[in-house]
Amino acid sequence: MKQYDIVIIGGGPAGLAAAVSAKKNGVDSILILERDKELGGILNQCIHNGFGLHTFKEELTGPEYAGRFIDQAAKLDIEYKLNTMVMDIRADKVLTAMNREDGLFEIQAKAIILAMGCRERSRGALNIPGYRPAGIFSAGTAQRLVNMEGCLPGREVVILGSGDIGLIMARRMTFEGAKVKVVAELMPYSGGLKRNIVQCLDDYGIPLKLSHTVVDIKGKERLEGITLAEVDSKGRPVPGTEEYYSCDTLLLSVGLIPENELSNGMGVEMNPVTSGPKVNESLETNIEGVFACGNVLHVHDLVDFVSEEAAAAGKNAAVYVKTGVGKRSGGHDIVLKAVDGVRYTVPVTINPEHMEDSITVRFRVGNVYRDCYVSAYFGEERVIHRKRQIVAPGEMEEIKLTKEQLMQYADLQEITVKIE
Partner 1 sequence: MFDYDVMIIGGGVAGAASARELSRYKVKACVIEKEEDVCCGTSKANSAIVHAGYDAAEGSLMAKLNVRGNQMMEELSRELDFPFKKNGSLVICLHEEDMPSLQTLYDRGVVNGVKELRILNKEEVLEMEPNISDNVYAALYAPTAGIVCPFSLNIALAENANVNGVEFKFDTEVEDIKRIDGGYKLMTNRGVYQTKCIVNAAGVYADKIHNMVSEKRIHITARRGDYCLLDKSAGGHVSKTIFALPGKYGKGVLVTPTIHGNLLVGPTAIDVEDKEGTNTTREGLDLLIEKAGMNVRNLPMRQVITSFSGLRAHEDDHEFIIGEAEGAEGFIDCAGIESPGLTSCPAIGEMVADIVSKKLGLQKKEDFIATRKGVLDPSTLTKEARAVLMKEKPAYGNIICRCEMVTEGEILDAIHRPLGARSLDGVKRRTRAGMGRCQAGFCSPRTMEILARECNMSMFDITKSGGNSKIVVGTNKDTL
Binding site for partner 1 (CB under 8 A): 35, 83, 85, 87, 98-104, 119-120, 122-125, 127, 129-134, 138, 140-141, 144-146, 148-155, 175-177, 215-218, 220-222, 237, 248, 264
CB of 104 to partner 1, least distance (A): 6
Provide the sign of the torsion angle of the four alpha carbons 69, 74, 77, 81, taken in this order: positive
Nearest CB to partner 1, comparing residues 218 and 337: 218
Computed on alpha carbons and rounded to an integer, the radius of gyration of the chain in Å comes to: 22
CB of 160 to partner 1, least distance (A): 15
Nearest CB to partner 1, comparing residues 12 and 153: 153
Number of residues that this document lists for the chain: 420
Is the backbone peptide bond immediately before 347 cis, with ω within 30 degrees of 0? yes
Q: Which residue, 364, 359, 358, 349, is CA-closest to 415? A: 349
Q: How far apart are CA 383 and CA 236, in angstroms?
A: 40
Nearest CB to partner 1, comparing residues 119 and 382: 119
CB of 328 to partner 1, least distance (A): 31
Core vs surface per residue 366-389: b (16+ CB within 10 A) or e: eebbeebebbbbbeeeebbeeeee
CB of 392 to partner 1, least distance (A): 24
**CB-based contact 317:111 (threshold 8 Å):** yes
Nearest CB to partner 1, comparing residues 103 and 326: 103
Q: How far apart are CA 166 and CA 153, in angstroms?
A: 14
CB of 335 to partner 1, least distance (A): 26
CB of 120 to partner 1, least distance (A): 5
Nearest CB to partner 1, comparing residues 156 and 281: 156
Nearest CB to partner 1, comparing residues 83 and 108: 83
Contacts of 278 (CB under 8 A, 6+ apart): 269, 270, 271, 285, 286, 347, 348, 349
CB of 248 to partner 1, least distance (A): 7
Nearest CB to partner 1, comparing residues 95 and 361: 95
SS3 126: helix
What are the backbone dihedrals phi and psi of residue 100, each rounded to the nearest 5 degrees, phi first?
-60, -45
Q: How far apart are CA 227 and CA 102, in angstroms?
A: 50
Supply the DSSP symbol for 134. Answer: B
Q: Which residue, 42, 28, 35, 7, is CA-closest to 114? A: 7
Nearest CB to partner 1, comparing residues 47 and 210: 47
CB of 221 to partner 1, least distance (A): 4
